[in-house]
Each structure stands twice: as C-alpha cells, then as structure tokens.
Amino acid sequence: MCLMIDEFANDNLRQKWIPQLAGMEKLASYCLTEPDNGSDAGNIKTSAKLHGDNYILNGTKVFISGGGDTDVYVVMCRTGEAGPKGITCMLVEKESPGLAFGQKEKKLGWNSQPTRSVIFEDCQVPVSNVVGNLGDGFKIAMRGLNGGRINVGSCSLGAAQNSLQLTRDYLKVRKQFGKTLDNFQYLQFKLAEMATKLVVSRNIIRTAAISLDNNWPNKVPLCSMAKFFATEECSKVCNDALQLHGGYGYLKDYAIEQYLRDTRVHQILEGTNEVMRMLISRDILTDEERKYV
C-alpha cells in the first residue's frame, strides 16, 4: 500500500500516510476482491458517485487482509464506464461514515491475521482522498499487485527456508534402525532437492524485484513467474519437510504444520497461480523475442 500511495497519491495524502504506514504506527488494507469478481479485477462493481465534496461508495469487498483492524483502506471502485478504464482508487479511513465490516473469517491458515469483508453502505469519502486521477484505479491496482506477488513469493520462501533448516536438524537427531536419519541416502537426496528449489525460488524472486525496481519491460511476466514458481515449489518444500518429520510433523508442537497451512494460500493471493500462468503465456505469445534473464 505504501508503494501505491507514494507513487500515485497527492502530496497531502503522501505526507499524512506514508510516515505512519512506513513506521507501522498505522496499518493499511488493500480492497480489490469482490464476491463476484476475484481474478476478473477489471469488472468490479463497488460504485462511487460524486455528491458535493464527497464520493458515496456502495458495495462489498471480500477476503480483505486486516479488515476491521487496520486504519485505512485502499479501495478500487467504479466511478465511470464498464471495464478497467472506469475504476478509480480511493483511501477510506476506518472511521468513515457508512464503513462496516463482516465477521472474522475462519481460515485453514494465516490465523494470526484477521480477514473480513469490508462493506460500504453510502460510505462518505472526501474527493481529496482520490489516489491518482479518475480512471487510474486499474493501473494502480496492477502496480500494487506486481509488488505484492514478490512479497507473497518471499513469504513462501521464508517458510520453506525455515522448514528445511528444522528438517536438517531433526534428521541429525532422530534415529531409526540404529542410526540417525541423516545417514540414509534417500533422505540426503530429498534435502538436496529441497535446497535446490529454495535457491531457484530465491533467484527468480530477486530477478523479479530488480525488474520492478528498474521498470524493465518484462516486469509483469517476471513477477508472475516469481510468484507462481516460488509459491508452488516452496509449498512442496514445506510438505516434504512435514513428511520427513513423520508423525511429529503433523503435531502443532512443531512449526512445520503451520508453515504448510500458511503457505497454501500463497497460491491464491495476489492473483491465483492459474492467472500467473495466463499472464506469462500472454506475454510470450505477444513478444516471442523478449528476454527474461
């Protein structure tokens, strides 16, 4: 959210929110997904109608990370024509009239993070809280998603890295058939495979981050590749780590089961991995000569 506000918002919004968000005095939520529009972000229905010095928002956003607990909501809403060009980005502060929240969702993982629906019922938002220009919302949303995909891939990488380290330590002390598990060649090979997946994931995430920072023309497919590959492969690493822990890996006394549950959603967040494949293939088909490394 900091990136979107810093890059597109006016000076007043930047001065108000960037120091507080960067210092984590305040927290923000990104409101894009709707009940009938997940991957199809260009067709959101939440509407914003101009009324004097305010926009009046009506609609619902779902699966919002931090919903109800954060201080400001970066909302994509429709101010114009159908399709991506009619979408605008606005900042909605928590105490805004007409802003409400659904019940906290019960999830498979990410249980330390509250997830709720964010509901707008004639919600009043000052015109001064528009981020960028009218109709810039889809562009801003996609800019934010590219960075978010790197973040999600990095989260998977962190969980997988710790899973590998915990598994390595476990194999050194757990004994079967009179010797520790690290003496079994199959398990050594499995650790080697896990470590290789981590190195490749780390490298593709770093390449994507560099492409985004330097505005490379192939930044979108690179960010998509990083998110798709890292979340898929790192989830496999966490699953292998649980398997190598045996029954202990399934217990909540050990961290592995939480890593597996928490990384599963990364294949859905910031655009499903099916959408990532679509973005990658679309770029290849439209520019066969483009280099990715």
Distance of CA 131 to the CA centre of its chain: 21
Which tokens go with 205?
A: 């995430």
Amino acid, res. 22: A
Residue of 212, 210, 213 lying closest to 202 (CA atoms): 210
Where does the chain have alpha helices with state H?
Answer: 2-8, 11-22, 137-173, 185-213, 219-244, 256-264, 273-286
Q: Which of 270, 274, 288, 289 is catalytic?
A: 270
How many Å apart are CA 76 and CA 87, to the nearest integer?
A: 6
CB proximity list for 285: less than 8 A, separation 6 or greater: none
Residue 288 annotated among the catalytic residues of the structure: no
Q: How far from each other are the two terminal CA atoms of the chain, in whole angstroms? A: 28
Task: Name the DSSP class of 253.
Answer: T
How many Å apart are CA 281 and CA 103, to the nearest integer?
A: 38
CB 46 within 8 A of CB 16: no
CB 241 within 8 A of CB 249: yes
Residue of 222, 259, 270 lying closest to 237 (CA atoms): 259
Amino acid, res. 169: D
How many Å apart are CA 168 and CA 164, to the nearest integer?
A: 6
CB 77 within 8 A of CB 46: yes
Q: Provide the annotated active-site residues.
A: 270
